Amino acid sequence: MTFSDPWLLLLPPLSLGCLALMFKTERVAPGVRFPDGRLTRGLSGSLRVRAAALLPLLRAVAFLLLFTALARPQIASKETKVRSEGIDIMLALDVSTSMKARDLDSGTGSEERLVIAKRVLREFIRQREGDRLGMVVFAARPYLLSPLTLDHDWLLENLARVETGMIEDGTALGDGLLTALARLTDNGKRADGRGKIIILLTDGRNNSGAVTPAVVAASARALGIKVYTVGVGALGRALFPLTDPFGATIYRQVKVDIDEPALREIAGVTGAGYFRATDAATLLGIYQRINRLEKRPIETTEHVTRRELFPLLLLPAFLLLLVEIVLKSTLLRRIP
């Protein structure tokens, strides 16, 4: 509880002093005089006499309530409203067979690129609470794994079933980007660049599809959508699994072939950035950096509601004064 005018709480002690003075004055007020005190010496005070002596207490309590009411006691309650505008993110993931290469060190040994990419994406998705996320996977053609959704658990379930070979082999960067872009736009309307982004992860170069990445990047820029690009793969050569004539899996060294100039151009045209991941820790750091760059705006509004309590004090104060006046004028009336 708080008081709007707390300095008024200094008045009750002053008022009590005044009442004490008044009480003292009333005690010496003129009464019926007897020539000899022996006539009343053995008399005891009646109930009315003792009750009359308590009348000043009614007035004291009434004034105490009145002055406390003047200080305006209040009960404050706060209501905080958080308005969060999440952003829309489409994740475009390369699932061509080259993502089976083992050249990313996870700290416990090398793992397939796709395995590490899925692990990092799961962590990224869990951190984007309040955002709508969708995913496109692509190889020789794109496949919409999930439209934009707030149901991140459902998106994670779909991500878990992503494997290389689920789409015919190839790398259609342009078509994959175009599918992601189409899912972010509403009939080609211009988007807020801070509200809609695409994150493209690939380990190769465009060799399939009907649309070139440069054309899609220009369209994304016109629509105000950023495209962050991530090239995944160690520098030089990587171990790639092959099947020998006897059906056994063997690993051969193959050249890592990432079209970094194209990925830099896509990101630069749209006002985003290009990142290169050569190990699992770097890939995780890239998505964490993008997570920090694309934070959603949060607006907090605080409403303070104050409930006035002085009416609850005024009513009993006036009732006490009224009771005192009535009793003093009737049942507890003093003579003279």
Per-residue pLDDT tens digits for 269-306: 999 999 998 888 889 898 988 888 776 655 556 667 77
Residue 8 belongs to domain spanning: 2-28+45-78+302-329
Domain shared by 99 and 70, yes or no: no
Mean pLDDT of 204-211: 90
Q: What is the pLDDT of residue 195?
A: 82
Q: Which two tokens stand for residue 255?
A: 């050249």
pLDDT over 80 (residue 165): yes
Cβ neighbors of 260 (< 8 A, separation 6 or more) are 231, 274, 276
56 with 120, same domain?
no
Average pLDDT estimate for 118-145 = 93
Query: Is there a domain that residue 204 lies in?
Result: yes
Domain count, the chain: 2
Residue 243 domain-assigned (yes or no): yes
The Cα 140–Cα 172 span in angstroms is 5
pLDDT tens per residue across span 68-82: 877 777 777 766 555
Helices and strands of the chain, counted as H and E runs: 10, 13
Task: Judge if 163 and 271 occupy the same domain.
Answer: yes
Q: Are residues 289 and 257 in the same domain?
A: yes
Residues 275 and 218 grouped into a single domain: yes
Taking the C-alpha atoms of residue 326 and residue 173, their distance in angstroms, rounded to an integer, is 95
The dihedral built from the CA positions of residue 324, 329, 333 and 335, taken in this order, carries a sign that is: positive
* Alpha-carbon span 127 to 87, nearest angstrom: 13
Q: Is 80 exceeded by the pLDDT of residue 206?
A: yes
The answer to whether position 334 is within a domain reads no
Residue 161 has a pLDDT of 94
Mind giving me the DSSP string for 148-208? Answer: EES-HHHHHHHHHT--TTSS-SS--HHHHHHHHHHHH-STT----TTTEEEEEEESS---S
> Are both 287 and 261 inside the same structural domain?
yes
Return all residues near 311 (Cβ < 8 A) that are at least 6 apart. 69
The rounded distance, in Å, linking the Cα atoms of 90 and 92 is 6
Q: What is the CATH number of the domain that holds 120?
A: 3.40.50.410
Is the same domain home to 285 and 201?
Answer: yes
Q: Is residue 222 part of a domain?
A: yes
Question: For residue 29, what pLDDT is reported?
Answer: 47
Q: Is residue 220 one of the residues assigned to a domain?
A: yes
The token pair that represents 314 in the structure block: 């005024």
Is the residue at 193 inside a domain?
Answer: yes
Q: Are residues 316 and 185 in the same domain?
A: no
Phi, psi of 18 (to 5 degrees): -65, -40
66 has pLDDT over 90: no
Work out the mean pLDDT of the chain and round it to a whole number: 80
Q: How far apart are CA 141 and CA 171, in angstroms?
A: 8
Does the pLDDT value for residue 193 go beyond 50?
Answer: no
Q: Of the ranges 99-113, 167-181, 259-273, 291-305, which one carries the lowest mean pLDDT score?
A: 291-305
The pLDDT, as a whole number, for residue 253 is: 76
Kindly state whether residues 292 and 308 are assigned to the same domain.
no
In a domain, residue 176? The reply is yes
Whether residues 103 and 237 fall in one domain:
yes
Do 64 and 191 lie in one domain? The reply is no
Question: Measured between alpha carbons, how far is 227 from 189 in angstroms, rounded to an integer?
Answer: 17
Residues 220 and 96 in one domain: yes
Percent of all residues in the chain with a pLDDT value above 90, rounded to a whole number: 35
Pairing of strands 102-105, 110-112: antiparallel
User: Comparing C-alpha atoms, which of 181, 99, 170 is closest to residue 136?
Assistant: 181
Residue 45 is classified by DSSP as P
Residue 22 has pLDDT above 70, yes or no: no
pLDDT score recorded for residue 233: 85
- With respect to residue 40, please indicate whether it lies within any of the assigned structural domains: no
More confident residue, 208 or 44: 208
